[in-house]
C-alpha cells in the first residue's frame, strides 16, 4: 500500500494510552482508512494542554496526524464521542476494555483498510455504553472480529470429515477451528460441547446484522454457551487469554445480584 500523505485528518478510536516522555502520551488508535497506528500526543499530560481531555481512552476523536519516520504525531484532537457511561459503570468499562484489547491483539499495526472493523468497533462501544445488558453486543463483536481477522470458525461442515452438520448436538474444537460431528468427535482432543441451539446462535451472529440478532431474542443459555466457546477459541488463537478477560469475569461475578 502506498505511504499516506505527510499529514492526514482522520476519525479515530483510542484503544490504548501510555505515558511517554516528560508530558506526552503514546496512543494506539484505530482509524477507518489508516489502520491501527501508534501516535504521540505531545504535551497531552499537561493540565493546560488543549489535547488533554480529547485523547481519553475508549472515546472517538477527530485528529490531524503528522506522519513521522517511526511514530505519527497527533497535532490536533477533538473528542466527538465521549461514551460517558464507560467511565461511570465498572462493568461497562470492563467490557469496553476487553473489546479494545481484542482489536489491539487481532490487528497488526500499519496502514491497512480497517473500515469494516472500525464500524464494528465503534458500533460495539456505543452499544456497550447504551444498552442495558452489553453481553449480546460483545458476543456479536467477537464473532464478527474473528470473521474479519480470517479466523471465523467453521460452523456448517465437520472440520474433520467435511460432511454437512446435522441438526443435533455437536462438539467444538478450538484447535481444529470449528464444529466436529459426533461421529468424528472421538478422534479430536480438547473439544467443548456445542448444543444445537448454541450452534444456531453462533451461525446467526456470523451471518446476520446486529439488529437481526437482537430481534431474535436469544435465550440466556445459548448466549452463555457462546461465551464459553468463543472465549476458548480466542484464547487458542492468541495462545493466551486476553488480560482484561479475567478482570471482566471478576467484576461481573462481584456485580451479580445476591
Partner 1 sequence: MSKAIPEPVTKLIESFSRLPGVGPKTASRLTYYLLRAPEETSLALADALRDLKANTRYCAVCYNITVEDPCPICADAQRDQRTVAVVEEPLDVLAIERTGAFKGVYHVLHGAISPMNGIGPDDLRIRELTKRVDKGIIAEVIIATNPGLEGDATAMYIQRELTGKGARMTRLARGLPVGSDIEYADSVTLTRALMGRGDV
Which of 32, 97, 153, 174: binder of partner 1 (CB under 8 A)? 97
138 makes contact with partner 1 (CB under 8 A): no
Comparing CB distances to partner 1, the nearer of 125 and 185 is: 125
Establish if 235 lies at the interface with partner 1 (CB under 8 A): no
Least distance to partner 1 from the beta carbon of 249, Å?
10
Residue 79 as a binder of partner 1 (CB under 8 A): the answer is yes
Contacts of 256 (CB under 8 A, 6+ apart): none
x/- site string to partner 1, residues 104 to 133, per CB under 8 A? x-----------------------------
What would the x/- binding string for partner 1 be over residues 47 to 66, using CB under 8 A? xx-x-xxx-xxxx-------
Determine which residue in the list 10, 11, 13, 16 makes contact with partner 1, applying CB under 8 A: 16
Position 243 contacts partner 1 (CB under 8 A) = yes
Euclidean distance between the first and the last CA atom of the chain, given in angstroms as a whole number: 54
Binder among 4, 8, 20, 148 for partner 1 (CB under 8 A): 20
DSSP assignment string, the chain: -PPPPSEEEEEEEEEEEEEETTTEEEEEEE-SSS-EEEEEETTTTSTT-TTGGGS-TT-EEEEEEE--SSSEEEEEEEEEE--THHHH-HHHHHHHHHHHHHHHHHS-BBS---HHHHHHHHHHHHHHHHSS-THHHHHHHHHHHHHHTT-PPB-SB-TTT-PBPPSS-EEEETTTTEEE-TTTGGGSSS-EEE-HHHHHHHHHHHHS-HHHHHHT---HHHHHHHHHHHHHHHHHHHTS--HHHHHHHHHHHHHS--
Q: In the bound complex, what is the minimum distance in angstroms from residue 156's beta carbon to partner 1?
A: 34
Q: What are phi and psi of 9, to 5 degrees?
A: -100, 140
Does residue 42 touch partner 1 according to CB under 8 A? no
Number of residues that bind partner 1 (CB under 8 A): 39
Judged by CB under 8 A, does residue 239 bind partner 1? no
Q: Is 74 in the site for partner 1 (CB under 8 A)?
A: no
User: Are 107 and 114 spatial neighbours (Cβ–Cβ below 8 Å)?
Assistant: yes
The residue from 12, 94, 155, 181 that contacts partner 1 (CB under 8 A) is 94
Least distance in Å: CB of 87 to partner 1? 5
> Residues in the site for partner 1, rule: CB under 8 A?
16-17, 19-22, 47-48, 50, 52-54, 56-59, 78-79, 82, 84, 86-90, 93-94, 97-98, 100-101, 104, 243-244, 246-248, 250, 254
Amino acid at each position: 500500500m502506498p505511504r499516506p500523505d505527510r499529514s492526514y485528518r482522520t476519525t479515530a478510536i483510542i484503544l490504548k494510552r501510555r505515558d511517554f516522555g516528560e508530558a506526552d502520551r503514546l496512543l494506539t488508535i484505530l482509524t477507518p482508512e489508516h489502520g491501527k497506528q501508534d501516535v504521540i500526543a505531545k504535551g497531552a499530560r499537561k493540565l493546560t494542554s488543549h489535547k488533554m481531555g480529547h485523547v481519553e481512552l475508549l472515546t472517538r476523536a477527530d485528529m490531524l496526524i503528522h506522519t513521522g519516520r517511526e511514530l505519527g504525531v497527533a497535532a490536533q484532537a477533538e473528542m466527538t464521542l465521549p461514551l460517558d457511561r464507560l467511565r461511570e459503570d465498572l462493568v461497562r468499562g470492563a467490557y469496553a476494555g476487553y473489546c479494545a484489547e481484542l482489536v489491539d491483539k487481532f490487528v497488526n499495526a500499519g496502514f491497512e483498510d480497517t473500515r469494516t472493523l472500525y464500524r464494528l468497533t465503534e458500533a460495539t462501544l456505543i452499544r456497550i455504553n447504551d444498552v442495558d445488558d452489553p453481553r449480546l453486543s460483545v458476543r456479536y463483536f467477537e464473532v464478527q472480529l474473528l470473521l474479519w481477522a480470517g479466523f471465523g470458525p467453521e460452523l456448517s461442515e465437520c472440520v474433520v470429515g467435511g460432511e454437512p452438520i446435522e441438526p443435533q448436538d455437536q462438539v467444538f474444537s478450538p484447535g481444529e477451528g470449528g464444529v466436529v460431528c459426533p461421529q468424528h468427535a472421538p478422534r479430536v482432543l480438547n473439544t467443548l460441547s456445542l448444543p444445537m441451539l448454541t450452534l444456531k446462535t453462533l451461525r446467526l451472529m456470523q451471518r446476520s446484522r446486529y439488529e437481526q440478532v437482537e430481534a431474535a431474542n436469544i435465550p440466556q443459555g445459548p448466549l452463555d454457551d457462546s461465551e464459553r466457546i468463543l472465549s476458548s477459541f480466542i484464547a487458542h488463537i492468541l495462545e493466551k487469554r486476553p488480560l482484561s478477560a479475567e478482570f471482566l469475569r471478576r467484576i461481573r461475578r462481584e456485580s451479580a445480584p445476591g
